[in-house]
């Protein structure tokens, strides 16, 4: 029998603690902790079917996610650049210089060839992809196909660059093209000079296409301290830096910022295209030459170009076939449709261009006779002197839109076509220039406007004495820069405003120096012979209704003056009351007057003829009346005697 242990022995006693367990329950050891394993993401999936190797939450929480995002971002940007380069290649943007130089057919041929290459390549790749999907091994076939397409595209780009250099004579200078970026614009403006470095020039906002999609627009701010006026003056240099013609660049100051401008650059030449219709042709209502501006054409942006003739004078010049006659008709037609404006017309060609205006002209000289031209100019000079005397009596400083009717002083418009036929005459040339200078310099305030046209602009044709005081200058195509400067003024050709650069196909294109400080490129409205005939017929009816047709034996003014002369009899003076008694039954007065006995109505009818009632002393009694000699003088003026 085994001896029981002695638990009471304290010396050898040890405490043994055992885990307490339930009866009949097995206890398993806890598994050891698993070692930490770094999470991994499957970068490449080589299977074409089946589920992804990892779940989405593991991919999102992976440390490789920033790398994936960066790769996605850069690949997207790279794809966008590749697409942009591909589009520029397809549209032949690298040939913008050839396009600007008028080689449109050359550029279009390149575009057509590149479109075919792109279409055939895309079609081949799409067909291969479809067949590969059907055979279930497209992933194997796709890389070599993409590589082939890339090689073809790169080869096309290299070939395009080589072709451009071989056929277009292009050097290494860049051309902005039709879709430039702000960086390219800043560098081009730096190349233009005096506007600051590229880093100092700002392009405000994005570079966009204009509303008509005919060019691009950018708001530009040069370096600090450079005003908008300086940038506008450097338009020739800017156009050269952009690689386009000067008419293709339009620069306007921005509102509210004197150091900021809006630049608009057109893809094509704005001075070419279909003829510009004139608003005068369909116009039915009278033209108010005192308050309305004359519409003469469209600028590079397609905006109407207008100017006022009041207190102005005009010089139009250009070689034969430049559109000078059409430009003249824009002005003559507007004056003709004002039924009160009086036209003095002198035609150095012999009446060919101005013949339609003869029936409505106050004076019409159809022959290139220098002496007759001098006599007409002297007659208008006498009218100017009479007007100044009338202004002094009325206490007025000048004739305006508000007082011309009360003063009886309508616009007097003198137009001389082919002025060189008269100013270069040995006997009368200098005399004519002297009288014309007086009419321009002093006639402004008296309602007299001079217009001159020539197809041989030269210093001896339009002397500096006369040209410098002609306020509106319109230069159409000229043969030399000197001829252009003869019209616009010395130095403009050297600043880029040179009408000799206008191509013969740009009919009606020209430079107008009128309302602003800088010449404006424009295309004049086209008015042909049929349009001139229609305008003058309408002008005749307007003047007939207004009673302002030039003097004819049967005209109302002539009949009224003859009736007044007959009423005076042999007496030099007649009171208004006695005059009305004697003409009240005469059809010349009774047939046109609302009240044949109204002295105010008689005064209104006689005032445009230069007659006003004045105090007349007859037998010691002073009353308002008229003089027989004044009636006779007015009648002679109507007939040019």
Q: Tens digit of pLDDT for each residue in 2-53?
A: 455 554 444 455 555 555 555 444 445 556 665 555 554 444 444 444 444 4
Is the pLDDT assigned to residue 410 strictly greater than 70?
A: yes
Give the mean model confidence (pLDDT) for residues 390-401: 95
pLDDT band with cut points at 50, 70 and 90 for residue 162: very low
- Lowest mean pLDDT, pick from 374-378, 458-462, 595-599: 458-462
> To the nearest whole percent, how much of the chain has pLDDT over 90?
39
Give pLDDT, residue 196: 86
Give pLDDT, residue 180: 87
371 or 117, which is more confident: 371
Is the pLDDT assigned to residue 300 strictly greater than 80?
A: yes
pLDDT band with cut points at 50, 70 and 90 for residue 101: very low
Give the mean model confidence (pLDDT) for residues 476-491: 90
The 621-627 sheet, strands edge to edge: 573-575, 621-627, 614-618
Give pLDDT, residue 295: 97
Is the pLDDT assigned to residue 392 strictly greater than 80?
A: yes
In angstroms, rounded to a whole number, what is the distance separating the alpha carbons of residues 563 and 587? 9
Around Cβ 37, how many Cβ atoms within 10 Å? Answer: 6
pLDDT band with cut points at 50, 70 and 90 for residue 292: very high
| 520-569: pLDDT as tens digits | 999 999 999 999 999 999 999 999 889 888 866 667 778 889 999 999 99
In angstroms, rounded to a whole number, what is the distance separating the alpha carbons of residues 196 and 189? 8
Q: Phi and psi of 359, rounded to 5°?
A: -70, -20
Closest CA to 403 of 412, 413, 394: 394
DSSP-derived secondary structure letter, 249: E
Is the pLDDT assigned to residue 136 strictly greater than 80?
A: no
Cα–chain-centroid distance for residue 525? 13
Q: What pTM was estimated for this model as a whole? A: 0.61
Tallying the residues shown for the chain, one arrives at 641
- How does the average pLDDT of the chain come out, rounded? 81
Give pLDDT, residue 329: 96
Give pLDDT, residue 456: 79
Name, of 19-33, 85-99, 222-236, the range with top average pLDDT.
222-236
| 559-596: pLDDT as tens digits | 889 999 999 999 999 999 999 999 988 888 887 788 88
Is the pLDDT assigned to residue 214 strictly greater than 90?
A: no
Give the mean model confidence (pLDDT) for residues 268-295: 93
Is the pLDDT assigned to residue 417 strictly greater than 50?
A: yes
Question: For 250, how many CA atoms within 13 A lie in the half-sphere containing its CB?
Answer: 22
pLDDT band with cut points at 50, 70 and 90 for residue 353: confident
Name, of 94-98, 205-209, 380-384, 452-456, the range with top average pLDDT.
380-384
Find the helix or strand (DSSP H, E) in which 304 lies: strand 304-307
- The pair of structure tokens assigned to 16 is 């043994």
Q: Does domain 276-281+290-545 have CATH number 3.40.50.300?
A: yes
- Lowest mean pLDDT, pick from 110-124, 152-166, 371-385, 486-500: 152-166
Give pLDDT, residue 47: 46
| 625-634: pLDDT as tens digits | 999 999 998 8
Return contacts of 397-404, CB within 8 angstroms, 24+ apart.
Answer: 397/445, 398/311, 398/444, 398/445, 398/446, 398/447, 399/445, 399/446, 399/447, 400/290, 401/288, 401/290, 401/291, 401/310, 404/290, 404/447
215 or 295, which is more confident: 295
Give the mean model confidence (pLDDT) for residues 121-131: 67
Is the pLDDT assigned to residue 409 strictly greater than 50?
A: yes
Closest CA to 514 of 269, 311, 229: 311
* Domain locations in the chain as residue ranges: 65-167, 182-266, 276-281+290-545, 551-638
Q: Are 498 and 468 in contact (CB under 8 A)?
A: no
Give pLDDT, residue 427: 94
Give pLDDT, residue 172: 43
In angstroms, rounded to a whole number, what is the distance separating the alpha carbons of residues 461 and 437? 14
Around Cβ 38, how many Cβ atoms within 10 Å? Answer: 5
Which residues pair with residue 217 across a beta bridge? 208, 264
Q: Output the CA angle 572-578-583, nearest 5 degrees.
A: 95
pLDDT band with cut points at 50, 70 and 90 for residue 641: low
- The pair of structure tokens assigned to 567 is 């009423």
Q: Are 498 and 519 in contact (CB under 8 A)?
A: no
| SS3 sequence of 388-439 | HHHHHHHCCCCCCCCCHHHHCCCCEEEEEECCHHHHCCCCCHHHHHHHHHHH
Give pLDDT, residue 48: 44
Cα Dmax for the chain = 191
DSSP assignment of 473-530 equals: EEEE--SSHHHHHHHH-TTTGGGT--GGGS-TTSTTEEEEESSSSS-EEEEEEE--HH
Is the pLDDT assigned to residue 59 strictly greater than 60?
A: no
b/e per residue 423-455 (b: at least 16 CB within 10 A): bbbeebbebbbebbbebbeebbbbbbbbbbbbb
Q: Does domain 182-266 have CATH number 3.30.980.40?
A: yes
Is the pLDDT assigned to residue 166 strictly greater than 50?
A: no
> To the nearest whole percent, how much of the chain has pLDDT over 70?
76
Is the pLDDT assigned to residue 485 strictly greater than 70?
A: yes
Give pLDDT, residue 163: 40
b/e per residue 68-98 (b: at least 16 CB within 10 A): eeeeeeeeeeeeeeeeeeeebbbbbbbbbbb
Is the pLDDT assigned to residue 137 strictly greater than 70?
A: no
Give pLDDT, residue 556: 76
Give pLDDT, residue 84: 73
Q: Which residues does 368 contact at the CB level (< 8 Å), separation at least 6?
A: 347, 348, 349, 350, 418, 421, 422
Give pLDDT, residue 14: 53
């Amino acid at each position: 029998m085994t001896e029981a242990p002695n638990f009471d022995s304290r010396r050898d006693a040890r405490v043994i603690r055992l885990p307490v367990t339930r009866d009949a329950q097995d206890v398993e050891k806890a598994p050891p902790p698993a070692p930490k394993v770094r999470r991994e993401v499957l970068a490449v999936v080589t299977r074409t079917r089946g589920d992804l190797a990892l779940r989405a939450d593991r991919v999102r929480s992976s440390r490789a996610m920033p790398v994936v995002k960066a790769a996605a971002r850069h690949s997207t940007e790279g794809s966008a650049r590749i697409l942009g380069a591909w589009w520029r290649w397809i549209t032949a943007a690298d040939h913008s210089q050839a396009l600007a130089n008028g080689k449109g057919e050359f550029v279009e041929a390149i575009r057509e060839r590149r479109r075919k290459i792109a279409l055939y390549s895309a079609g081949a790749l799409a067909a291969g992809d479809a067949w590969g999907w059907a055979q279930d091994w497209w992933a194997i076939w796709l890389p070599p196909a993409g590589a082939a397409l890339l090689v073809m595209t790169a080869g096309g780009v290299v070939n395009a660059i080589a072709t451009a250099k071989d056929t277009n004579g292009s050097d290494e200078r860049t051309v902005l093209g039709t879709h430039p970026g702000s960086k390219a614009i800043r560098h081009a403006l730096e190349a233009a000079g005096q506007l600051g470095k590229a880093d100092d020039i700002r392009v405000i906002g994005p570079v966009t296409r204009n509303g008509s999609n005919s060019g691009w627009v950018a708001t530009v701010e040069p370096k600090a301290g450079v005003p908008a006026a300086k940038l506008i003056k450097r338009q020739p240099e800017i156009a050269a830096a952009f690689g386009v013609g000067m008419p293709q660049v339009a620069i306007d100051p921005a509102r509210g910022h004197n150091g900021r401008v809006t630049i608009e650059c057109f893809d094509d030449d704005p001075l070419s295209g279909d003829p510009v219709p004139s608003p005068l042709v369909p116009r039915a209502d009278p033209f108010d030459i005192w308050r309305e501006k004359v519409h003469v054409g469209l600028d590079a942006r397609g905006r109407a170009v207008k100017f006022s003739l009041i207190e102005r004078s005009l010089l139009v010049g250009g070689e034969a076939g430049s559109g000078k006659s059409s430009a003249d008709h824009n002005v003559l037609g507007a004056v003709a449709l004002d039924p009160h404006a009086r036209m003095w017309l002198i035609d150095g060609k012999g009446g060919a261009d101005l013949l339609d205006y003869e029936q409505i002209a106050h004076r019409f000289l159809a022959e290139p006779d220098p002496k007759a031209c001098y006599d007409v100019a002297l007659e208008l000079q006498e009218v100017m002197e009479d007007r100044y005397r009338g202004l002094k009596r009325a206490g007025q400083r000048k004739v305006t839109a508000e007082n011309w009717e009360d003063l009886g002083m309508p616009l007097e418009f003198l137009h001389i076509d082919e002025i060189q036929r008269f100013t270069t005459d040995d006997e009368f040339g200098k005399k004519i220039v002297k009288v014309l200078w007086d009419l321009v310099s002093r006639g402004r305030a008296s309602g007299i406007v001079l217009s001159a046209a020539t197809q041989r602009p030269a210093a001896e044709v339009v002397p500096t004495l006369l040209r410098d005081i002609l306020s509106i200058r319109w230069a159409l195509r000229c043969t030399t820069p000197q001829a252009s400067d003869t019209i616009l003024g010395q130095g403009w050709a050297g600043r880029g405003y040179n009408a000799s650069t206008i191509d013969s196909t740009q009919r009606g294109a020209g430079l107008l120096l009128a309302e602003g400080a800088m010449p404006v490129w424009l295309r004049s409205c086209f008015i042909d012979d049929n349009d001139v005939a229609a305008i003058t017929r309408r002008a005749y009816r307007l003047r007939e209704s207004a009673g302002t047709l030039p003097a004819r034996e049967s005209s109302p003014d002539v009949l009224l003056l003859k009736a007044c002369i007959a009423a005076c009899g042999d007496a030099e003076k007649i009171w208004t009351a006695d005059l009305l008694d004697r003409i009240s039954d005469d059809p010349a007065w009774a047939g046109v007057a609302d009240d044949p006995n109204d002295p105010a109505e008689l005064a209104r009818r006689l005032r445009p003829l230069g007659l006003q009632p004045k105090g007349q002393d007859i037998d010691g009694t002073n009353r308002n009346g008229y003089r027989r000699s004044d009636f006779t003088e007015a009648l002679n003026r109507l007939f040019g005697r």
